[in-house]
Amino acid sequence: MRALWACLCVGVLAATSATKLHNLPREAQIQDGKLAMDDHPLQEDDRLDTDQQSLQMEDEGLAQEYQFDPFLNPNRPEADKSNKHKPVNPAGRPRDCADHLISGSTTSGVYKIYPFTCTCNGPVRVWCDMETDGGGWTVFLKRQKQFRQMNFNRTWAEYKDGFGDPSREYWLGNEALYKLIASREYAIRLDLKYKTGISQYNTYSIVKVANEANRYRVSVQGPVSGTASSNCFSLNSFFTTYDNYGDINTGKCAVARGGGWWHHSSCRYGNPTSPYNQGFNYTCYYTTSMVTKVQVKIRPKVCDTAFKSVYLNSKNCGGSK
């Protein structure tokens, strides 16, 4: 009798689970035996309600999509076991925009990445620059002129977690930035567009970011290149905000200048999180100019000529425009 009851219980549970799985939204679609990633990015002029709807769908379906993910479930017949260039995230998901580029995405826009190694973490939405210098750039700071400017004078906790809308203005988040840079060796790039219409950039070949216990201290190494003065992008200090000013200057740069940044000891060099009023003042050494658009972005240092020839063929990853 006990065996009969056990069989009946197992049968009921199996039927219930099958019914639930049948009704789950299948968000991770399988196409030609491969996991279809986000190859159709949103553009800058997309509506906010579209972004919010996408976020809601992600929250509701995150747990369920693992049931159908061929990388997490290798026993599924649709799983592509022949793909030799899977993204580096242990869950088989794109860790950064370079992974999306390798997968064939070449249009700049909003993509989902998975910078955290724990599979229970959901995706992080970022702006991927797929055009500048070969593409594959993960933008962690994006500012531009818009109807309502984002307030960047925020707390330490907000800068840690990230805020804003990647299709407009946003900060990725210091914890996600730290996790990304800890996984690979990255280059970092600053792009500035001045009110005069002139654009300049500056790139360091290697950037390092410490963990929160070390106040997300940033340091840059290797050669610096670009059209802007190296003083426009002076990075070698602790992160600081108005409520947590552990910078190397006793003048409390974040309190005096607003926003959150890795300030130089003199507080006089560029702060791309300054208050925006038809643009913001950006200082390179002793010259201050009005900037209307800025992006700060990272890309794996491996995006060089050898990498391009092996993985990207005709894509200009790491080459000059």
Q: In the predicted model, is pLDDT for residue 106 greater than 70?
A: yes
> What does each C-alpha distance from 236 to 82, 219, 222, 239, 261 come to in angstroms?
43, 4, 13, 10, 11
Q: What is the largest CA-CA distance in the chain?
A: 88
**246-303 pLDDT, tens per residue?**
655 556 888 888 899 998 777 778 889 999 999 999 988 778 899 999 999 999 988 7
Percentage of residues of the chain with pLDDT beyond 90: 43
If DSSP codes are grouped into helix, strand and coil, which group holds residue 83? coil
Number of residues in the chain:
321
Instruction: Indicate the range of 16-20, 88-92, 142-146, 273-277 predicted with least confidence.
Output: 16-20
Mean pLDDT of 8-12: 38
Distance CA 169, CA 171 (A): 7
What long-range pairs does 107-113 form, CB within 8 A, spacing at least 24? Answer: 107/41, 108/41, 108/135, 109/41, 109/42, 109/43, 109/44, 109/167, 110/41, 110/42, 110/46, 110/51, 110/166, 110/167, 111/38, 111/41, 112/38, 112/58, 113/138
What's at 271, amino acid-wise?
A: N
Distance CA 308, CA 93 (A): 21
**For residue 223, which of 209, 233, 213, 211 has the smallest C-alpha distance?**
233
> What does each C-alpha distance from 136 to 21, 90, 242 come to in angstroms?
36, 20, 33
The pLDDT, as a whole number, for residue 80 is 32
If DSSP codes are grouped into helix, strand and coil, which group holds residue 165? coil
Distance CA 296, CA 290 (A): 17
Q: Let me know: does 284 contact 228? Beta carbons within 8 Å.
A: yes
Distance CA 27, CA 33 (A): 15
Predicted confidence band of residue 308 (pLDDT cuts 50, 70, 90): low
Q: Which of 91-95, 138-142, 301-305 has the highest mean pLDDT?
A: 138-142
Q: Which residue do the tokens 């913001």 mark?
A: 280
**46-90 pLDDT, tens per residue?**
444 454 454 444 444 433 433 333 323 333 333 233 333 344 555
Q: Which residue do the tokens 């990255």 mark?
A: 186
3-state helix, strand, coil in the chain (%, to 5): 25, 25, 45
